[in-house]
Amino acid sequence: MPSLPYTCDPCRQINPSPLRKRNASFGALNHGARTMPALSALLQSIPQRAFHTAGNEVFLSHATIHPVWVRAFHWINAAAVILMCMSGWQVYDASPIFGAIRFPAAITLGGWLGGALLWHFAVMWILVANFVAYLALGVFTGRLRRTIFPITLRAIATDLVAALRGKLSHSDLSVYNAVQKLAYLVVIVDIALVIVSGLTIWKPVQFPVLRTLMGGFDNARIVHFVAMSVLVGFFAIHVAMVALVPRSLLTMVRGR
């Protein structure tokens, strides 16, 4: 399995000396373990990762970037969003908000309004449960804080310019750049908005507080449509970036 590069930019130089010392330490311990079975067993129980350097890069072998639960939630969310959008487009076509916007039958799901609603309501619970569980685990494990924060406007502007010029590095897939952090933060808020506006449309009488927050039933439909459009836009850009950096797909499949 190929090693994953941790690229060092001029502002974040990594001194390879501690890495060499660590490998040397492990070598000394392994040598001593030949005559100490207990120490040998202890060393084998500790997951060792081999560090080595090449020029300005430090490589970490067998490093897990996305744990199993992140990958599971990612693929469940992707499937749920696709099904929700396709069935939602069929529901929209039955009563369009914007007369000039219609969705071709080939990309809708359900065949008619009743069938689309059945799909929409069934998948809705999967999307909500998956989203809530992901947020809960992300907060509990600290992963959301580590991957998205800190984020600054200056870093976003710098990385956005680099991205537009095609010079934004993706060599270290374990670290999100500022543009990625912003995108994932926006999509988390957007999915929450999709859910809240969807609940308002589904049960406007039972959720009067949500109806008030959305500005009424008709406004809730507009908010739902706009939030869906943002989600589809994110999905399209996300797929395009995966095509440009195929290794990112592998990490979401196998974790490293």
Question: What does pLDDT average to over the chain?
Answer: 82
Q: Look at residue 192 and tell me whether its pLDDT is greater than 50.
A: yes
**Which has more pLDDT, 38 or 246?**
246
The domain spans of the chain are 4-60, 68-254
Q: What is the mean pLDDT of residues 164-190?
A: 89
Residues 92, 117: contact at Cβ < 8 Å?
no
Q: Which fold, 68-254?
A: Fumarate Reductase Cytochrome B subunit (1.20.950)
**Which has more pLDDT, 13 or 173?**
173
DSSP secondary structure string, 123-135? HHHHHHHHHHHHH
SS3 216: coil
Q: What is the mean pLDDT of residues 149-171?
A: 89
Q: Look at residue 22 and tell me whether its pLDDT is greater than 90.
A: no
Q: Look at residue 26 and tell me whether its pLDDT is greater than 90.
A: no
Confidence class for position 36, pLDDT limits 50, 70, 90: low
Dihedral, 255, 180, 187, 231 alpha carbons, nearest 10: -90
**Range with the poorest average pLDDT among 9-13, 198-202, 204-208:** 9-13
Q: Give the pLDDT score at 165.
A: 87
Tens digits of residue pLDDT in 52-72? 333 443 444 457 889 999 999
Task: Count other C-beta atoms under 10 Å from residue 172's C-beta.
Answer: 18
Q: Look at residue 139 and tell me whether its pLDDT is greater than 70.
A: yes
Q: What is the mean pLDDT of residues 118-146?
A: 96
